[in-house]
Structure 1
Amino acid sequence: MRSSADLYDALAPTYEDHFTAPHRKAYDDLAWEACCEAIGTAPGLVIDVGCGVGRWARRFVDQGHWVIGIEPAPGMSDRAALLQGESFTLLRDRVEQVELETGVADAVVAMGSLQYTADPAAAIALCATWLKPGGVLCVLVDSLFGLVVELMRAGRTSEAMQRLDTRLGVWRIDDQEADLHLLDADTLGDAFKQAGLEVLSTSGLLVGASLIGRDELIAALSADYGRQLDQERAMANCRDLADLGKQLLVIGRRTA
């Protein structure tokens, strides 16, 4: 697995702009809504795994939470460090190498980060140990089947079959490449259960990319963002459609 650190370093200066694209803004908005609903409004400790430049960490702090951000890419963590203060602590390390007390967190969020670890299931198990009883884990990853459908629609059959066989993807930004695990809803849900978590919800985000096509979805979001987001929200709430999303969002709770 090629590390994602160099890619994220290169992306860091414009990372905030990355989410002005309609489809990225849409899945980010949907994920934020779902995670906030699961975490609740009572102030607590949130661990943000792969916090990047601190986009979500800043929002959690503004809500009154205390946040521990974990970010190994220097370019990203340098920007996240600007949030350092009484309510935010930054750990510049890979999640697998972080040592935290067990049972301290009210929530752990990992938005698109665990797919870059050597073993996502092991990373989920580690994150679960940090939760208090009743605490929630929110994990967002790229969808295996969502990508396969996108590649097939584009006529890239050989690559689609390769992704389906290897369950690995490649993210390219300019001249930088990083390898990532591609997951399906059942595999991700099983990892939660093996970690001792009760699965609360399994959602596919941007199902429309599979149903009408990625470019068509972007056009629909650009034409009427609110209307299309409402449709995507309704489809995200249908478990049977989860694997058709471009991203998978699974939320689980540590039982007493």
Structure 2
Amino acid sequence: MTETSSRAGGPRADAVRRSYDTVAADYHRLLEGHLETVPRDRAVLELFAREVAAEAAAGRIPAAVADLGCGTGRVTRHLRDLGAEVFGVDLSPGMVAVAREAYPGLRFEVGSMTALDLPDGALGGVLAWYSTVHLDEPELALVLREFARVLAPGGRLLLAFKATGGPEREHRRLERAYGHAVELDVYRWAPERIARLLAAAGLVESARLVCEPGPGDASPQGFVLARRPRTA
């Protein structure tokens, strides 16, 4: 699941919320078990989970991890299985309802990445697993600053995104997905542009992976691991 523009509402936020409320059940049906077929994704998530766990075990950061834009909770559950103290937040009440039914042992909340109901420095880890793909640059910059705010110094961010094959930014309009009519803008970014936005938000990139499109992918896939510095 994904996020949107204004801080808690607005026309674009409403369109994203409606779209994902509509597709929630079929989204879960179609994607449940998908991680088991993609070793690359599992490896990236395990690296993130291990880094957070190691820092938390040493007492340097909190153990709490937030899966922001968690959708129906499939990646949240995977992080839990890796040992993370994880909870999920999503803009769509429909997606959260499916997540709560599918994974009753996990905590899921309705909320917006643009205005998280979390104290400063509360988290050791933030996962944004393709959950910023509906954000254009001003909104993406805002969200990355919010991620930096809720991360403790030394905390980790894993951002998965749709990458471009060259241009810094690509946009397309999505009007049908998961068997339903939707109203969604989708953005792809050059990894170098993502790195600059992370730096502007006060986050330091520590690893980057860009993969050629796999089966079912319409674009390269990008993964960036970043951290909030311990000192300003």
Same fold (TM over 0.5): yes
In structure 2, the CA distance between the partners of 1:23 and 1:47, relative to structure 1 (3 Å rule), is closer
Q: Does the alignment pair 1:12 with 2:30?
A: no
Within the candidate set 43, 49, 54, 1:36 is matched to: 49
Which residue is equivalent to 1:239? none
Deviation at 1:60, TM superposition (A): 2.6
TM-score by length of 2: 0.74
Contact 2:168–2:193 (CA<8 Å) still a contact in 1? Answer: no
1:122 maps to amino acid: L
Q: Indicate the residue corresponding to 2:215 in structure 1.
A: 218
Gaps of 5+ in 2: 6-11, 58-62
Partner residue in 2 for 1:60: 79
Q: CA 1:33–1:17 in 2, change beyond 3 Å: closer, same or farther?
A: farther
Structure with greater proportional helix content: 1
Dislocated runs of 4+, deviation >6 Å: 20-24
1:139-172 C-alpha deviation (Å, 9 max, x unpaired):
1111122xx7xxxxxxxxxxxxxxx597322333
Deviation, structure 1 residue 73: 1.2
Match of 1:199 among 199, 205, 214: 205
Q: Distance in 2 between matches of 1:111 and 1:60?
A: 12
Secondary structure of 2:189's counterpart equals coil
Aligned to 2:122: 104
| Structure with the bigger percentage of strand | 2
TM superposition shift of 1:102: 0.7
Is residue 134–residue 255 contact of structure 1 (8 Å, CA) maintained in 2? yes
> Does residue 192 of structure 2 align to residue 189 of structure 1?
no
Counterpart for residue 75 of structure 1: 94
The 3-state SS of whatever aligns with 2:133 is helix
Partner of 2:160: 140
The match for 1:252 is 226
The alpha-carbon deviation at position 103 of structure 1 amounts to 0.7
Superposed displacement of residue 134, structure 1: 1.1
**54-63 or 190-199: bigger deviation:** 54-63
Gapped runs of 5+ residues in structure 1? 149-163, 210-216, 220-243
Give the structure 1 partner of residue 8 of structure 2: none
Partners of 2:93 and 2:229 in 1: how far apart?
35
The alpha-carbon distance between structure 1 residues 84 and 16, as it changes in their structure 2 partners (threshold 3 A), is closer
Q: 2:153·2:228 contact (CA, 8 Å) conserved in 1? A: yes
Q: CA deviation at 1:53?
A: 1.0
Larger Rg: 1
2:156–2:226 contact (8 Å) kept in structure 1:
yes
**TM-score normalised over the length of structure 1:** 0.68
Distance of aligned partners of 1:24 and 1:177 in 2 relative to their CA distance in 1, 3 Å threshold: farther
